[in-house]
Amino acid sequence: MTKPRQYQCFPEQRPETPLLDLAPLPELLRDLDESQLPQLADELRAHLLYCVGQSGGHFGAGLGVVELTVALHYLLDTPRDKIIWDVGHQTYPHKILTGRRDSMLSMRQTDGLAGFPKRSESEYDSFGVGHSSTSISAALGMAISYKDEQPARQTVAVIGDGAMTAGMVFEALNHAADTDANMLVIVNDNMMSISKNTGGLATYFSKIWASKTYIQLRAGSKKVLSKIPPAWELAQRTEEHMKGMVAPGTLFEELGFNYIGPIDGHDLDSLIPTLRNMLLMKGPRLLHINTTKGKGFAPAEADPVGYHAVNKIEQPIKAAAVKDADELIEQVIPPAKKIKYQDIFGQWLCDMAAQDDRLIGITPAMCEGSGMVEFSELFHDRYYDVAIAEQHAVTFAAGLACEGKKPIVAIYSTFLQRAYDQLIHDVALQNLDVTFGIDRAGLVGEDGPTHAGSFDLSFLRCIPNMIVMAPSDENETRQLLYTGYQFNGPAAIRYPRGVGPGKPISTKMEALPIGQGILRRSGQCVAILNFGTLLDRAIEVAEQHNYTVADMRFVKPLDEGLIDSLASSHDLLVTLEENTIQGGAGSAVLEYLNQTGVMLPILQLGLPDRFVDHGKHKDLLASCGLDKIGIEQAIERRLVTLPSNQQQWANESNQ
């Protein structure tokens, strides 16, 4: 095996004609000589470092699949052949090689490239992937749909960065093995998921098993020995036992996949011929490669979690001016930590655990994102990272609650959608004491619709036995977390990504009265019923127009007394939430007023009935009419339609 190439981030001597210029699309890439591919990989990695440094975004996973991306597009007839990437943030090198290099600086910005594969963005993006562990199911569907096509198409699922830990993967593997689908699964093992390389012997046998000689010998032996069943069975068992001794592929072989690996995913000299030969095989195949997350950038290699994504570099630089990766280190280190909602949750979790030894903290592979690092260190025996397995996380919590523990499930809003059945049947139906800290509620900015928590108020409030809370600031978040924890039953507290408005946080924890809001400002004519962190915008509008503002705090149960009071003293009620209007908090208010027979105009403000694309959070709020100007204008338009105001507004407009 050749020694892996040592990568230089920005070589001092650049080629006169970069290969990236010669191969902006895969069909031109395939015109290169195979000996040129290592140079192309070097240039691709350098360009990726430059682009992410300028725009920010996911970082380490893309660096780890540079060679694999080059090899796949070199050997496959993309876009006719399909590549499904899983998790989707591995696709930055893929985007650079598929005609989007000049747009990379727009990554994750309004009207720019998405941070994940997006079918509407490029014909090379075969499947949209935001959540993980979907690739094998999707690839299997594609492969079966192509099975009668001639010439045959290739379908390749690239799964890595921890995605192998989800149960959906094994459901798909189990089904695929029962078909004759012509598909290749590539397990990108970057030390964030399954087993480590077992050494040189495994690599040696991998080369043998993927060689043309072995494939032909195996096929020829099958023809001969299949006529002698005992001999063929013995040959199969011998092969399986040999593989089992030197490679971690027994599980996949037992499922019915032809397993090859593990091999070095950065060594093009072994990766190219192995892939080429595996593409000649038929049926379900699995290639296991070892890669390094953050390959080529020393800080990211040393800290793959911390450099999973980076912020943009504040001082713009030119790629040609940077000669070594070390020059970027200081500029891409994340800025000093600010108080984020996830940190408020994390501090509350530690404080609560110190008081109650029944508390158990659970996360589906989101320790850092959910603010649980300190808890995991201080209360290691009560911390459980169940990997990318949201369904298991919720039912695991239910089992703990059955036996008197107090489980806290820290989970992103969009990921809780994957465990909805478990939330209903395993927790709520049994009225179990499980508290859900729901992070990333509302729009999430640059990560886009796959990560936005647009629907949790709608899908939570229809579940019996649940209480659902939407705090408006940092201190309310802490106090409502405590309130939910003290409630003997399922409770959900939803809070957004990022920092709050800067309200003081009381160290004292006090349970708030369940189902009770608070009047923040008294005014006339219009009452704004705010649910969540848009409160400051509501108060800005109210102070300018002398409106009333209520911080409702609870979506379920509603503060019916406060609603009755406001409905009897105002001409218009406005509900405000960073959740889809359909079935959300505003709908809950409408339902209540309808049941009580109150006929009062209601204006519902929230997220529209569409998937909101990626961009800066404040820009997305403005596009949805949820900034100060949008709220103000929506109320003014609605006031004009009120019968009591139509003549008055008409007279004023004529003056």
- CA-nearest of 375, 381, 433, 424 to 402 is 433
Provide φ and ψ at 573, rounded to 5°: -105, 135
How far apart CA 427 and CA 238 sit, in angstroms, is 48
Written as six digits, the tokens of 200 are 């040189």
* Side-by-side strand order, sheet with 554-556: 383-385, 359-363, 406-412, 435-439, 491-494, 467-469, 554-556
How far apart CA 345 and CA 485 sit, in angstroms, is 12
Beta strands 57-58 and 309-310 are antiparallel
- What one-letter code names the amino acid at 408? I
**3-state SS, residue 60:** helix
Question: Which member of 118, 285, 418, 478 is catalytic?
Answer: 418
How far apart CA 5 and CA 67 sit, in angstroms, is 11
How far apart CA 52 and CA 46 sit, in angstroms, is 10
Count CB atoms within 10 A of the CB of residue 455.
Answer: 19
Token pair 């077992």 is found at 198
401 and 409 Cβ atoms separated by less than 8 Å = no
Count CB atoms within 10 A of the CB of residue 197.
Answer: 18
- CA-nearest of 48, 497, 616, 57 to 312 is 57
How far apart CA 343 and CA 498 sit, in angstroms, is 9
Count CB atoms within 10 A of the CB of residue 488.
Answer: 9
Token pair 């069909």 is found at 27
How far apart CA 479 and CA 294 sit, in angstroms, is 39
Question: Which member of 45, 293, 340, 461 is catalytic?
Answer: 293
- What one-letter code names the amino acid at 304? P
314 and 340 Cβ atoms separated by less than 8 Å = no
Q: Is 418 assigned a catalytic role?
A: yes
Count CB atoms within 10 A of the CB of residue 335.
Answer: 7
Cβ neighbours of residue 356 under 8 Å, at least 6 residues apart?
Answer: 406
Question: Which member of 390, 446, 474, 632 is catalytic?
Answer: 390
How far apart CA 260 and CA 205 sit, in angstroms, is 9
Q: Is 82 assigned a catalytic role?
A: no
Q: Is 503 assigned a catalytic role?
A: no
- CA-nearest of 121, 143, 119, 141 to 129 is 119
151 and 164 Cβ atoms separated by less than 8 Å = no
Written as six digits, the tokens of 183 are 């598909």
440 and 497 Cβ atoms separated by less than 8 Å = yes
**3-state SS, residue 563:** helix
Supply the residues annotated as catalytic: 293, 390, 418
